[in-house]
Amino acid sequence: DWLTSIQDEETPFFLYYASDLPHTPLYEARDKYADKCVSAVESSLGGVCEYMLAVDELLASLICHISDMGEDVLENTLFVFASDNGGATTSTNVPYAGAKYYMTRGGYSAPAAIFGSLVPEELRGTTYDDLFHVTDWIPTRMHAATRGTWKGPMSGHVIDGVDQWGAVLEADG
């Protein structure tokens, strides 16, 4: 088990997991998930509900494994969940109009969430509604991971993206 091999609580680690489960093209989902997606809205999404349930199960398993590594490890873990773009053109991005490739909010808005001990109690459960581009994730996560000491790639290359950590922490919900 690869996760238990990094159980040294003194050594920080970085884990990036990119699932393509809810991405097109969608394949046939397992019946155990399909049986839970029975409403008209869920059925009209063409398998997205089933794949999101599978992602939920994978993430729950991952969080349980990290929790088993020790309270300190879980306490010092920042979880970031983010989509890469708006909803697929074959489904819906409710409540927004449009989908991927459209210049409406449904084409460029994407859900994201962060949680962990680095997020102050008073900000947990709030919403950040300002602009945030996908390229902002790298400098923002690096700021959080290094407690503000990261100054850019060691190669010296300039990257796109803006550190949004301070702005996110100043969100007023």
**pLDDT tens per residue across span 16-35:** 777 777 666 666 667 777 77
pLDDT classification of 173: cutoffs 50, 70, 90: very low
For range 38-48, the mean pLDDT: 64
pLDDT classification of 60: cutoffs 50, 70, 90: very high
| Residues with Cβ within 8 Å of residue 49, at least 6 apart in sequence | 33, 36, 37, 42, 43
- Would the pTM of this model clear 0.85, i.e. be above it? no
Percent of the chain at pLDDT above 90?
A: 5
Q: Cα(49)–Cα(101) distance, rounded to whole angstroms?
A: 22
Alpha-carbon distance values, 143 to 78, 110, 147, 164, 165 (Å): 12, 22, 6, 9, 7
Alpha-carbon distance values, 31 to 22, 28, 40, 60 (Å): 16, 9, 17, 19
pLDDT value, residue 164: 92
Which residue shows structure tokens 């581009």? 133
pLDDT classification of 152: cutoffs 50, 70, 90: confident
| 154, pLDDT greater than 60 | yes
User: What's the pLDDT tens digit per position in 69-104?
Assistant: 888 888 888 888 887 666 666 656 677 787 777 788
| 169, pLDDT greater than 90 | no
Strands, E, within the chain: which ranges? 79-82, 112-115
Q: Cα(27)–Cα(62) distance, rounded to whole angstroms?
A: 23
Tell me which of 110 and 164 has the higher pLDDT: 164
pLDDT value, residue 156: 84
Q: Cα(79)–Cα(138) distance, rounded to whole angstroms?
A: 14
pLDDT value, residue 163: 93
For range 120-147, the mean pLDDT: 87
pLDDT classification of 136: cutoffs 50, 70, 90: very high
Phi, psi torsion values for 137, nearest 5 degrees:
-65, -40
